[in-house]
Structure 1
Amino acid sequence: MLILYLFIAEVTTMFTVRVEDRQVCQGTHSDPKFFTFEQYKKILGFTSLSPGLALSVAGLGAGLTEAIVVNPFEVVKVSLQANRHAYAEQPSTFNQARQIVQANGFGLQGLNKGLTSTLGRHGVFNMIYFGFYFNVKNIFPVYQDPTLEFLRKFAIGLVSGTIASCVNIPFDVAKSRIQGPQPIPGEIKYRSCFQTMALIYREEG
């Protein structure tokens, strides 16, 4: 998957860094999320959990799996976006990833920087989204009219996504601060997920 990502990024240099990496990352994390959700749902079907709770737990598992897959790509994407040089002077995506690994390795200071925040962001979002969507969807009757049925699913999905996004925003902000450039060069201000949340709350509210 990483090799495929780097290859696609290399051959799409006509796009800006922001568009390039967002497209690749979106394609990278959409597939494992839905695939793993179905797998976790099947496994949890053999447990004593209620169907509603099992859907939320399956969503949590899918989100955590998704986070592990996409976090290295997010680190590379954010570091490229933070590069203030002209686009022609920026390193390629492959070289940027290699520089990160050479400087800080694959660990929590390198290619997996901000992993805890990413786990929280994706885990919380998918737990709420899948749990709310599938539980609420069964409450409202199914419409025979295709347009009304589409609107029913769209409305439930919209509410599910809105609630999930509101809850996971603190994790998203923490992730951006940890993976992005620090306020003072050479000094690490944002170190971990909950330390960053607490610091932002004290300083910014």
Structure 2
Amino acid sequence: MGAKRRKLSNPLALAVMVLLSERPMHPYEIAQTLRQRGKENSVKINFGSLYTVVQNLEKHGYVEVAAVQRKGNRPERTLYGLTAAGHEEMLDWMADLVAVPAREYPLFETALSLIAVLPVEEVVELLEERVRQLDIQHAAISAVLTQLGRTLPRLFVVETEYQLHMMAAQADWIRGFLREIADGSLTGLDGWRQLHASGVMPAEWQELEGEDPPKH
């Protein structure tokens, strides 16, 4: 089962629909609410693009103008609400995201797939630095989670908890990879060193070029 193609694919659009399912809001209020709930670590919030997202949602019939407020000399504020079509799209999109493991192509995976272009010793230094940065981020987000946990039910911070687990898992994998480089047990290590010593791809690697890659 694969994820459906959608008229809108920006995750911020989904976050907007979820908030508007609670009550009509002005775009600025949407951004403020997401930040107050600590969602900026899970949803990329850009105030300028938020207006564009709301306009696109309106264009596709997922949100509509619910009211126009005016207080004193302040500019009019347009409040948007979720339509029936938007409510259906929100629930369907959420079900898809929860159930279907989408291929996301993280940048670190891209770098790992091309890692042999760098010398072994440089990769060791770079990965050691990455682990240090992951440990710092893990400590910072742990502090945030502890703070949020004082006032919010765990249900409301599970995405932050998940982030911490993913950071820890990545750091553990990198440490294991570095150990294999250090003790020489990483297969392909000799060819990697040979590539950078001679500038020529090892013969056994050239033979692999002619083989069909395994299918996922």
* TM-score, length-scaled by structure 1: 0.29
Larger RCO, structure (CA 8 Å, separation 6 or more) = 1
Larger radius of gyration: 2
- Return the structure number with greater strand share: 2
- Return the structure number with greater helix share: 1
